[in-house]
Structure 1
Amino acid sequence: MRAFEEIPSRQVRLADATINYRELGQGPPIVFVHGLLSNGTLWRKVAERLQTSHRCIVPDWPLGAHTAPVRPGADLSPCGLARMVAGFLDVLGLQDVTLVANDTGGAIAQMVATEHPGRLGRLVLTPCDAFDNFLPPMFRPLQYTAKVPGALYVAVQALRAHPLRRLPMTYGLLAKRPIPDHIVDGWLRPAQTRHATRRDTARFLRAIGTAHTLDAAARLSSFRRPVLLAWATEDRVFPFEHARRLAAILPRATIAPIADSYGFVPEDQPERLAELIRDFVNATNPATRHERQETS
């Protein structure tokens, strides 16, 4: 089994951006979407566990921890990011994709499901922005840093102090257990050291608003593929009630409560999440269902 962090990055060139990604394993494709100020390493423990049965494709999306800046003038709104995800799937020629998302990435995934569903076979949402919770209240000050010259630079430099990373307005309410320092260092270093990364991040922050998630919610009933809502029951940032609301809208949704975890389920409960994803993909894969019937 290959260790995630030892796998070299590959690149996909889109019209508006170059996306770095890691790939491990073979089998039905799973593509992961992280959130703001994190990158693909958020999914490292989950992808390592799924690589024995699935092709895990783990990009670094331009959400504040990316090293490949996007083209000037690119659409960095949430809908623009959804188009990038769809374009990424197109370039790799992926079909029947399981899209797995967390945090801000879950809002983007909802827009992929409503606007670009063609290559999706199923959707997995872990705790994420939804409805009128985009951004969650404790993170809204981040949007002000995007509007004041130099403020975002000061904010990310302050997070060189490790104790500040456990504050409620940073990563403190997202993970129940401490995230390894070298992982968070990797999330923050691009914005701390690259003007272009901060520029992209500020543009995305300025474009965030509940109009995007409310519009997606109003159209999610049209997404008729299987959906798994693998949601943390203790999450104070992305309330469990939102999983129930999403399940009431999505025609083929299943809720899987996850105990002993905050919103970063890939950090707090990677083994449980990987198990849920594997079982969900197998149960909703027509080929797998046919094989089970043949052997029964």
Structure 2
Amino acid sequence: MPQITLDQGTVGYQDTGEGGEPVLFLHGYLMGGGLWEPMVERLAPDFRCITPELPLGAHHIPLNRGADLSLPGIARLVADLLTALDLRRVTLVGNDLGTAIAQIVAARHPERVGRLVLTSGECFDNCPAVWFRSLVPAARVPGLLTLAFQALRLRAARRLPFAYGLLTKGALPHDLIDEWMGTFFRDPGVRRDCAEFTRHFGPAALLDAAERLASFDRPTLIAFAREDRIFPYAHGERLATLIPGASLEAVPDSRTWVMRDQPALTARLIREFIHTTPAGAAPAGTTPA
């Protein structure tokens, strides 16, 4: 996996596709970029697909001690990554907690964002979602978060609502989850990063982003799952009325992981969105990619 060193630390990422416009995918909590593989397989022939490993508990390299692991801090890390990779007019795609991060990047660091795609994930005050709010106080007790995640090493436990069970209508990608759990339990620095993020996890930055997105001027696609039991479709509707000119698409027969439950449809929506909308302005003093 390629790596790049930022002020916050070293970040791993996958970079797939020989050419075309850049598309950067943001994953959720205790997950990795491999979650997006069905999208990358379908879109890489036409676009450059980048999937960074965000420091949310399944990343392979701990960040530097003292790195800002708040939601705004991770949004800044994403913005710094775009700069370090010299990506311009990026189509930024989020899912689950990655949707919250994408909103904050678009609201606070829009310079290199050309388009925004928000799929089912945290919005407004649903951050963290109800099923996962107990993780915040758990992270404030040394070792308790690690103890709580021990159950996720058992495949049978992963279908529980407070695990991965409500994220997909299909079979869980156990090989991927095995990798995520292995990374979390193998490295104390990764566990430290995860606990640091979790103990500060809250809606303030996302509510601020919602206010700022009312003046966001880049093309935006909102593709929320109708049957999501964690992130209501109504939040997608609300985002669509909030962000100027945003288009809303309902993803049927899917829960949060639209890239897994409806990969062909989700890829088609993203491809058509890119092909039919001009990317936003490039930052001053740069040449469009």
Shift of 1:207: 1.4
1:29 equivalenced with 2:22 (yes/no): yes
Q: Deviations over 1:195-237 (max 9, x none)?
A: 1111000110111111111111111112110110011000010
Query: Within 1, Cα distance between the matches of 2:98 and 2:146?
Result: 23
Superposition pairs of residues 69-218 of structure 1, within 5 angstroms: 69-218=62-211
Shift of 1:152: 1.4
Query: Within 2, Cα distance between the matches of 1:277 and 1:188?
Result: 30
Shift of 1:188: 1.6
* Amino acid in structure 2 at the alignment position of 1:180: P
Contact 1:156/1:192, CA 8 A, preserved across alignment: no
Q: Deviations over 1:241-277 (max 9, x none)?
A: 0001101110020001000100011111111111110
* Amino acid in structure 2 at the alignment position of 1:253: A
Contact 2:219/2:278, CA 8 A, preserved across alignment: no
Query: Within 2, Cα distance between the matches of 1:226 and 1:106?
Result: 16
Query: Within 1, Cα distance between the matches of 2:119 and 2:159?
Result: 21
- Give SS of 2:153's match: coil
Q: Which of 226, 229, 245 is the matching residue for 1:252?
A: 245
Aligned partner of 1:20 in structure 2 is 12
Query: Within 2, Cα distance between the matches of 1:52 and 1:36?
Result: 28
Aligned CA-pair RMSD: 1.2
TM-score normalized with structure 2 length: 0.94
Superposition pairs of residues 278-293 of structure 1, within 5 angstroms: 278-285=271-278
1:49 equivalenced with 2:42 (yes/no): yes
Query: Within 2, Cα distance between the matches of 1:162 and 1:176?
Result: 16
Report percent identity of matched pairs: 48
Query: Within 2, Cα distance between the matches of 1:143 and 1:82?
Result: 19
- Give SS of 2:214's match: helix
Unaligned stretches of 5+ in structure 2?
280-289
Q: Indicate the structure whose relative CO is greater, using CA pairs within 8 Å and at least 6 residues apart.
A: 2
Matched residue count: 279
Query: Within 1, Cα distance between the matches of 2:74 and 2:245?
Result: 25
Contact 1:24/1:55, CA 8 A, preserved across alignment: yes
Shift of 1:12: 1.2
Shift of 1:145: 2.2
Aligned partner of 1:222 in structure 2 is 215
Unaligned stretches of 5+ in structure 1?
1-8, 287-296
Query: Within 2, Cα distance between the matches of 1:89 and 1:64?
Result: 21
* Amino acid in structure 1 at the alignment position of 2:4: V
Contact 1:11/1:21, CA 8 A, preserved across alignment: yes
* Amino acid in structure 2 at the alignment position of 1:18: T
- Give SS of 1:222's match: coil
Shift of 1:22: 0.8
Query: Within 1, Cα distance between the matches of 2:134 and 2:174?
Result: 24
Q: Which of 11, 31, 47 is the matching residue for 2:3?
A: 11
* Amino acid in structure 2 at the alignment position of 1:160: R
Query: Within 1, Cα distance between the matches of 2:86 and 2:154?
Result: 42
Q: Deviations over 1:61-111 (max 9, x none)?
A: 111100110000010000000000000000011111000000111111111
Query: Within 1, Cα distance between the matches of 2:233 and 2:174?
Result: 28
- Give SS of 2:28's match: coil
